[in-house]
Structure 1
Amino acid sequence: MSEPSQYIAESAVFGDTNLVDWTIAPAMRTVAAHSKNTDDARSLLEMLGLIAPRTASAAEPVVACKRRCVSCNRPGRHSSESLKKWPGTVAIVGRGMCRACYTAVLDAEKEARDVVA
């Protein structure tokens, strides 16, 4: 009996999704045998046209929050809320600002007081 890869080479046209079942199953097995991980297998199956390609995901998840740092305008959360619950946000710690902006403002105020004194 010949190998599944021979069936693919003889009868499959690249990207043809109208193949009969007896050519698709060996192709999927061949891809599974030669792939290094699941992402590799998925990309090979997508290239062969045997599965539907994934939609492109956004680079950053959209964070639905109502608070923002008043200084840098990054999405914010209350300092007692978990980062796991609000991914991509910064904790608002004082005066409506994130820790980095708030610390910078406090340092500037301290310098201004030291100059006067």
Structure 2
Amino acid sequence: MSGPERYIAESAIFGDTNLVDWTIAPAMRTVAANAKSVEEARGLLEMLGLIDPRPKSDAEPVVACKRRCASCNRPGRHSSESLRKWPGTVAIVGRGMCRACYDVVLKEEKRARDDVA
């Protein structure tokens, strides 16, 4: 085999994990050096077949939220409900507002009372 078939026989097939360690280790180091994040490195190594892919998990269910902060309109939950049950929401603490908005309103009211007195 002196022609092109020699190079094909010597080259690795994409996704071939039956390569010798001295071929796999440099490929993993190259991926690690060029990846911008851990997830990108994992994805590249999975695509190359150098690591086993993670089992695909179902997407997190979308939580339908009926309440919103009256001031900033962020999705809200009752203050006694768990954040785990309602991910991505803020606790509604007073007057239909989240803690941050409610604190601002209270400070403005206190300032207005102090100015009058």
- Which residue does 2:103 correspond to in 1? 103
Q: RMSD between aligned alpha carbons? A: 3.5
Unaligned runs of 5+ in 2: 1-7, 33-37, 54-60
Shift of 1:93: 0.3
Instruction: Give aligned pairs, total.
Output: 90
Per-residue deviation, residues 38-89 of structure 1 (Å, max 9, x unmatched): 843432232x37999xxxxxxxx95421111010111111000011111211
Identity %: 60
2: CA distance, partners of 1:97 / 1:42: 42
Aligned to 2:66: 66
Contact 2:17 2:49 in 1 (8 A): no
| Structure 1 partner of 2:46 | 45
Name the CA shift for 1:97/1:26 in 2 (closer, same or farther; >3 Å). same
- Quote the residue 2:18 is aligned against: 26
Q: CA deviation at 1:25?
A: 3.5
Find the residue that maps to 2:81 and give its secondary structure: coil
Gaps of at least 5 residues in structure 1 are 1-6, 18-23, 53-60
Report the TM-score when normalising by structure 2. 0.58
Amino acid at match of 2:80: S
Is contact 2:28-2:45 (8 Å) kept?
no
